[in-house]
């Protein structure tokens, strides 16, 4: 393989980290990357972000989430399933109702995004 030409400003740091192989070896495992992708997917829709924030403030049943968003039950069920797949929300059965609430990860994500959600460009 041909030598890669890199700027001097990053060469020393890169070499100190073991080069590209050192960086590649330090990356999270594919399973961890997959979990991060599920969280990112769950947060990629404004409705799901609103639902996560709402559930952070108050556990709710689907009927309340539908009333809050104006979405159909079927669409809300889809959004909740994506949030569940991402590990951000879970539900408990209370009679005929499923009460949704954030997981510990969902609470941490809601807190983090409330604090850091602003444009931060270089």
For 8-116, CATH gives 1.10.10.10
Residue spans per domain, the chain:
8-116
Tens digit of pLDDT for each residue in 72-100?
Answer: 999 999 999 999 999 999 999 999 999 99
Greatest Cα pair distance, the chain, in angstroms, is: 66
Tens digit of pLDDT for each residue in 17-50?
Answer: 998 899 999 999 999 999 999 999 999 999 999 9
CA atoms of 83 and 41, how far apart (whole Å) = 9
- Answer whether 0.85 is exceeded by the pTM: no
Q: Residue 2 above 70 pLDDT?
A: no
Confidence at 121, pLDDT banded by 50, 70, 90: low
Q: Which two tokens stand for residue 115?
A: 């604090």
Q: Residue 1 above 50 pLDDT?
A: no
Confidence at 115, pLDDT banded by 50, 70, 90: low
CA dihedral 37, 38, 41, 45 (to 10 degrees): -150
DSSP assignment of 84-107: HHTTSEEEEEETTEEEEEE-HHHH
DSSP assignment of 10-33: HHHHHHHTTHHHHHHHHSPPHHHH
pLDDT of residue 8: 86
């Amino acid at each position: 393989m041909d030598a890669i030409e890199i700027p001097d400003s990053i060469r020393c740091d890169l070499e100190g980290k073991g080069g590209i192989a050192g960086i590649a070896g330090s990356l999270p495992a594919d399973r961890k990357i997959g979990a991060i992708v599920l969280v990112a997917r769950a947060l990629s829709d404004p409705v799901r972000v609103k639902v996560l924030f709402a559930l952070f403030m108050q556990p709710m049943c689907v009927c309340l989430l539908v009333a809050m968003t104006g979405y159909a039950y079927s669409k809300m069920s889809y959004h909740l399933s994506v949030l569940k797949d991402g590990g951000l929300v879970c539900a408990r059965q209370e009679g005929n109702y499923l009460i949704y609430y954030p997981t510990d990860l969902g609470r941490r994500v809601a807190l983090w995004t409330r604090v850091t959600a602003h444009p931060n460009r270089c």
